[in-house]
Amino acid sequence: MLSIAHQQLSRIMRPDDANIVGNVHGGTILKMIEEAGGIISTRHCNTQSGDRCVAALARVERTDFLHPMLIGEVAHVSAELTYTSRHSVEVQVNVMAENILTGSKKVTNKATLWYVPFSLQNVDKIIEVPQIEYASPEQEEEGKKRYEAQKMERLETKERNGEAIIPVISPEEYTVGFSQSSLIHLVGPSDCTLHGFVHGGVTMKLMDEVAGIVAARHCKTNIVTASVDAINFHRKIKKGCVVTVSGRMTFTSNKSMEIEVFVDADPLVETAKGKYRAVSAFFTYISLDKDGKPLPVPTLKLETQEEKKRFEEGKVRYLHTKAKRQAEQERQQ
């Protein structure tokens, strides 16, 4: 029998969780997802004797925002351990929105997260993970396949880490330079784990804010997060660092926008270490009218060969996701 551990968090959505039309920010939901995942994985990794540890977020698989969540609804975030390797934990999370006036419920998000446990005594020491029991060998084998796939994708993503977003003087409307945006944040104690490193959920919330600004600048309408491609946490961010979160438009379809987001950390005290790329991801947004219906997205104007290359890469990701979604819908019929 699979040794299942569950964790559930619930919280009512307040006005400061949402945008100006009442849709809860995708970053707020991502932060709650990470909190639930962090609790369940840390708790599991401390069920054995030896060093006490805290599980750090290493990767978030593609996450789709299935339905919008609104102010006044209660978010129920449920997390479950589904696979363990020697040094990592897979957590699957479901998010449900409940209207407490009518009793209606809807699933808004499903996410898969990977955590790595680090010793509290030595922050560079990775702790061995207690293994869970599986209902069948097939279930364990499926988990192993997911683990190997995410490991390979993390290595491929690191190859992009040298790229930077350069400011553009007097950019033309609907170009990459016109909508690209950055946010600077000083990491404080409230942002951090017991180790003194930034919570993954805090980082994801900042990334979603920047991506949302890019999307809003491009189409000048109400925008919402539609999905987040895999978020890779390459290096930890320490308390006292200044983080620069930068976003740029990479692809537009008729009704969606893909935004690439980088997080760079700059230590204020340990300056010898220099600035480094900590996190990267692709966010997808859609444009909505006042009734919440999708609007056409202005076509992205491409000015350089690099922009054209990124656009074609984004198109491949878009078509791959579209084909995968259609295949899933056919299987369900």
Helix runs in the chain, H state only: 26-45, 137-158, 176-179, 200-219, 305-332
What interhelical angle do 200-219 and 26-45 show, nearest 10?
160
Query: Is 223 in contact with 27 (CB distance < 8 Å)?
Result: no
Structure tokens at 237: 């961010």
Contacts of 214 (CB under 8 A, 6+ apart): 179, 180, 181, 247, 248, 249, 257, 259
Residue 19 is a catalytic residue: yes
Q: How far apart are CA 277 and CA 235, in angstroms?
A: 7
222 catalytic residue (yes or no): no
Looking at the DSSP bridge assignments, the partners of residue 98 are: 74, 105
The Cα–Cα gap between 282 and 215 comes to 12
Distance of CA 268 to the CA centre of its chain: 26
Token pair 């308390």 is found at 239
Residues 153 and 130: their CA atoms lie apart, in Å, by 25
Tokens 């979160």 label which residue?
245
Residue 32 to residues 3, 26, 118, 249, 327, Cα–Cα distance (Å): 24, 10, 21, 26, 30
Residue of 19, 51, 161, 266 with catalytic role: 19
The single residue of 17, 208, 229, 264 carrying the catalytic annotation is 208
- CB 84, CB 48: distance < 8 Å: no
> Rounded to whole angstroms, how far apart are CA atoms 192 and 184?
17
Active site residues: 19, 208
